[in-house]
């Protein structure tokens, strides 16, 4: 219970925030790392706090972009038996003992959610937010999927199988997120659709 209280105390400090999700395995040389860095830098300059899982890869890139321009750069990490390393670009950090508490904080922390290519964790976090918006458990917020080559196969499955063939989702559910392929496109969409 104390983790929830402390977590909500942290996230309520930031009136305007964007959460970045993506692979912890992305490296400095990866294009996805550069895109996450550049987008977070631009959003931080616009007054957004940048929130991530606080680790490496896309998370580090996003935190670094915000940190370098003097923006709020927050890491919500998980405490594991092995050493869990925070990236060095955080203005505030918090470690959680329970994955579900951390996930709640990442879910309720922001007005915008940006998803870069990642693994099961990234997909889990994407479907969590989409489901919460779809069921109106949270208000409609910009959900940005960055990288058409990565996301398009999943979106094709959603459109064809879930919507057209199985009818397990409604047509309006296909509008809960947007797919972008450039920093400019992501930035413009966020600025036009965020509750700034």
Domains of the chain as residue ranges with CATH = 2-193 (3.40.50.450)
pLDDT at 29: 86
pTM for the predicted model, two decimal places: 0.96
Mean pLDDT of the chain: 95
pLDDT over 90, % of the chain: 86
Question: By C-alpha distance, which of 187, 179, 152 is closest to 35?
Answer: 187
Confidence of residue 81 (pLDDT cuts 50, 70, 90): confident
pLDDT at 31: 96
How far from 24 is each of 15, 32, 55, 131, CA to CA, in Å? Answer: 26, 11, 7, 24
pLDDT at 182: 99
- Greatest mean pLDDT range, 28-32, 97-101, 169-173: 169-173
Confidence of residue 19 (pLDDT cuts 50, 70, 90): very high
Q: Give per-residue pLDDT as tens, 84-141.
A: 789 999 999 999 999 999 999 998 889 999 999 999 999 999 999 999 999 999 999 9
pLDDT at 147: 98
Distance from C-alpha of 17 to C-alpha of 109, rounded to nearest angstrom: 7
pLDDT at 85: 87
pLDDT over 70, % of the chain: 99
pLDDT at 1: 77
Mean pLDDT value of segment 174-195: 98
Confidence of residue 28 (pLDDT cuts 50, 70, 90): confident
């Amino acid at each position: 219970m104390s983790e929830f209280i402390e977590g909500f105390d942290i996230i309520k400090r930031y009136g305007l925030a964007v959460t970045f999700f993506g692979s912890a395995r992305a490296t400095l040389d990866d294009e996805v790392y550069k895109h996450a860095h550049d987008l977070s830098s631009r959003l931080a300059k616009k007054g957004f706090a940048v929130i991530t899982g606080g680790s490496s890869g896309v998370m580090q890139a996003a935190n670094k972009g915000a940190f370098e321009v003097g923006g709020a750069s927050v890491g919500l990490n998980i405490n594991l038996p092995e050493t869990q390393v925070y990236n060095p670009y955080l203005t505030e950090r918090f470690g959680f003992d329970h994955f579900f508490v951390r996930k709640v904080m990442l879910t309720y922390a922001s007005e915008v959610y940006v998803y870069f290519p990642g693994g099961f964790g990234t997909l889990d976090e994407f479907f969590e937010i989409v489901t919460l918006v779809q069921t109106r458990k949270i208000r409609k917020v910009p959900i940005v999927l960055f990288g058409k080559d990565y996301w398009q196969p999943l979106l094709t499955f959603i459109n064809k199988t879930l919507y057209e063939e199985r009818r397990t989702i409604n047509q309006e559910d296909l509008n809960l997120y947007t797919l972008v392929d450039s920093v400019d496109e992501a930035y413009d969409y966020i600025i036009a659709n965020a509750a700034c």
